[in-house]
């Protein structure tokens, strides 16, 4: 509670809050903000996360190489990813499950996230943000 009060006071006094830094963080919570679906023989369309079955929040654990829904979502979904690579302040995650390939690109300095999930003829793109799950 004390951390929340300090953060709120900083927000009110400073007007701007510094972005989260994920450098050295192994477990983070990520939120979907913008979602779109692209269809090969058509076009791209904006959609809500719920329309496409994209969880609103996921927990990424780079040590365990897992992406899971939060307990509060009651979805109980989890998938493993095969690759985690960090280079020049960017975290790259890649995996394959259920006929779909997926890639996450997460900026360590600000927590900005870009995700692509692809299967034959269809791609879903998600833009969002991540923060340390221990905060």
pLDDT tens across 65-117, in order? 999 999 888 888 999 999 999 999 999 999 999 999 999 999 999 999 999 99
**What is the model's pLDDT at position 47?**
95
**Band of residue 64 on the pLDDT scale cut at 50, 70, 90:** very high
Q: Is the pLDDT of residue 6 over 90?
A: no
**What is the model's pLDDT at position 21?**
86
Interval 29-54 mean pLDDT: 94
Sign of the alpha-carbon dihedral angle for 124, 77, 90, 129: positive
Q: Collapsing DSSP states into helix, strand and coil, what is residue 1?
A: coil
**What is the model's pLDDT at position 72?**
87
Q: Is the pLDDT of residue 14 over 80?
A: no
Residue 6 vs residue 123, higher pLDDT = 123
Q: Is the pLDDT of residue 39 over 50?
A: yes
For residue 74, what are the β-bridge partners? none
Q: Name the region of 103 (left: φ>0; alpha: ψ -120 to 50; beta: rest).
A: beta
**What is the model's pLDDT at position 19?**
52
């Amino acid at each position: 509670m004390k951390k929340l009060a300090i953060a709120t006071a900083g927000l009110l006094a400073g007007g701007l809050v510094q972005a989260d830094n994920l450098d050295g963080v192994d477990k983070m919570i990520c939120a979907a903000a913008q979602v779109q679906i692209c269809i090969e023989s058509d076009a791209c369309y904006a959609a809500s996360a719920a329309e496409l079955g994209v969880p609103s929040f996921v927990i990424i654990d780079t040590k365990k190489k897992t992406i899971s829904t939060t307990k509060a979502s009651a979805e109980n979904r989890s998938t493993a990813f095969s690759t985690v690579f960090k280079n020049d302040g960017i975290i790259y995650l890649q995996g394959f499950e259920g006929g779909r390939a997926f890639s996450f690109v997460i900026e360590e300095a600000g927590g900005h996230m870009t995700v692509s999930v692809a299967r034959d003829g269809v791609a879903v793109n998600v833009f969002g943000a991540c923060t340390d799950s221990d905060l």
